[in-house]
Structure 1
Amino acid sequence: MKKVVLVVATLSLGFTFAQEAPKLVIPKVEVTPKNSWFKAGLTAGVPMSDTKDVASFNVGVDVRAQYLFTAHFAVGFASGYNHFFGKDEVEDFGVIPLAGFARYYFQKEGLFIGTDFGFGILSNVENNDGGLYINPQIGYHNRDWNFYGYYQNTFTDDINIRSLGLGATYNIRFK
């Protein structure tokens, strides 16, 4: 009988203190030329760390789709291609990023910081498909252009592919 009373008391207390789970409310998102656009541009950098032993420099194409949540905070998707020019007996290779990104714009025009985070697919590299891709950036933006410095790192099993460079993208707005 003591066990029955203990079970009933425990269940009663559990039901008494149980709270209703919060409901997930997804705000309506309206994509407009004022809050969403594509970015396309070019990058150039110098390999760092172990990568400088196998590549002399890199150039790339940067493509993005951005959604501006507020006047200061944006998220989106980033991709493109970064070509590393091999040196000595090493063949050229590349990184294709598949990443999400976040950016914080301090003002309507001026300084921004952000980072890409995703997966970097390696091209022309045997026995290595790629790895974690991180690309922090700091730069200047206006209505049409973004100019930035970056430190790109793709973590793989064999080597971390690192590059320090500059990039520029042009904002392609929806009509």
Structure 2
Amino acid sequence: MKKVILFLAALSIGRSYAQEIPKVEITPKNSWFKAGLISGIPMEKTKDVASFNVGLDVRAQYLFDSHLAVGIASGYNHFFAKDEFEDFGIIPLAGYTRYYFQKEGVFVGVDFGYGFLTNNDESSGGMYFNPQIGYHNDNWNIYGYYQNTFLDNFNIRALGIGATYNIKFK
């Protein structure tokens, strides 16, 4: 898994150096905030300690063209623990990229950064990786995700759905 992530990161960096960097002009047509909710079920070993998760998804996005977007992502993802464990959360701080196939329709994307772990004395967090596939229009994004936070001795994983509303600059 780490090799795949390193490959994708190297590919992204290589693509950015291979292209001429365009002048960035922030306008309501190419930049906006996204805010919404996520909900999911823990996967693999995480399901042994938590029963479900809900959270807030906050993003800032810039479109290079009508298909490729980059931005920063954060929020909070709360995991509701099973009886013998305590609730915990993840605060991601990540960069992301999305590819929109059409003006309205399917998109794919990935968040890559660091997930800060809350309510845990054993670890402060770890690498955060969150691939997504969804549907978008001018106002909404609805997507499925498979969130991964890689800790030293445990990986937190969840499969879920999310929806964000686009708050455009005026």
Unmatched runs of 5 consecutive residues or more in structure 2: 1-18
Unmatched runs of 5 consecutive residues or more in structure 1: 1-23
Aligned length: 152
Specify which of 69, 87, 94 is matched with residue 89 of structure 2. 94
SS in 2 for 1:52: helix
> How far apart are residue 67 of structure 1 and its match?
0.1
User: What is the alpha-carbon distance in structure 2 between the residues aligned to residue 161 and residue 32 of structure 1?
Assistant: 37
Partner of 1:151: 146
5 Å matches for 1:1-175? 26-175=21-170
User: What is the alpha-carbon distance in structure 1 between the residues aligned to residue 136 and residue 103 of structure 2?
Assistant: 8
What is the identity, as a one-letter code, of the residue corresponding to 2:35? Answer: A
SS in 2 for 1:27: coil
> How far apart are residue 153 of structure 1 and its match?
0.3
What is the identity, as a one-letter code, of the residue corresponding to 1:50? Answer: K
User: What is the alpha-carbon distance in structure 2 between the residues aligned to residue 49 and residue 25 of structure 1?
Assistant: 42
TM-score, with normalisation over the residues of structure 1? Answer: 0.85
Which has the larger Rg? 1
Show CA shifts across 1:72-117 (max 9, x none): 0000000000000000210100000000000000000000000000
User: What is the alpha-carbon distance in structure 1 between the residues aligned to residue 34 and residue 56 of structure 2?
Assistant: 11
What is the identity, as a one-letter code, of the residue corresponding to 1:66? Answer: Q
Structure 1 consecutive aligned stretches of length 4 or more whose deviation exceeds 2 Å? 24-27
Show CA shifts across 1:31-81 (max 9, x none): 000000000000000000000000000001000000000100000000000
User: What is the alpha-carbon distance in structure 2 between the residues aligned to residue 54 and residue 166 of structure 1?
Assistant: 20
TM-score, with normalisation over the residues of structure 2? Answer: 0.88
Query: What is the Cα-based RMSD across aligned positions, in Å?
Result: 1.1
User: What is the alpha-carbon distance in structure 2 between the residues aligned to residue 72 and residue 26 of structure 1?
Assistant: 17
User: What is the alpha-carbon distance in structure 1 between the residues aligned to residue 44 and residue 24 of structure 2?
Assistant: 42
SS in 2 for 1:50: helix
> How far apart are residue 127 of structure 1 and its match?
2.0
